Structure 1
């Protein structure tokens, strides 16, 4: 398993935990901090929370990893 695959697996797990509604406020902050480090797309939160129709955790992670920043 390569580095990105392990990051994707971890990100899916974290998103599912966040969406479960059982994480404490402290845990939610820790999850967001870790997702900020793992996911290359700064807009992942929009996919995770605000997207309609709702994307699965796996879809969120795939979309976030397909992000290519524009370098000028």
Structure 2
């Protein structure tokens, strides 16, 4: 999945596939996670958030099933 670099102290890049609802996040630690069944509105909210790390913690983490890729 193609990811877009983001300005964040915690997140490095974010990718999203609207047809499947898969959100992929690479963290500054180089870990990569995929989150499943994420609505487009949550992805748009993340990309528009002033603090992407806070948005991730409050609106994505613990709400969507995920797996670690790396």
Higher relative contact order (CA 8 A, sep 6+): 1
- Fold shared, TM-score > 0.5 on shorter chain: no
As a proportion of its length, which structure holds more strand? 2
Q: Which has the larger radius of gyration?
A: 1
| TM-score, scaled to structure 2 | 0.33
Larger proportion of helix: 1
TM-score (structure 1 length as normaliser): 0.32
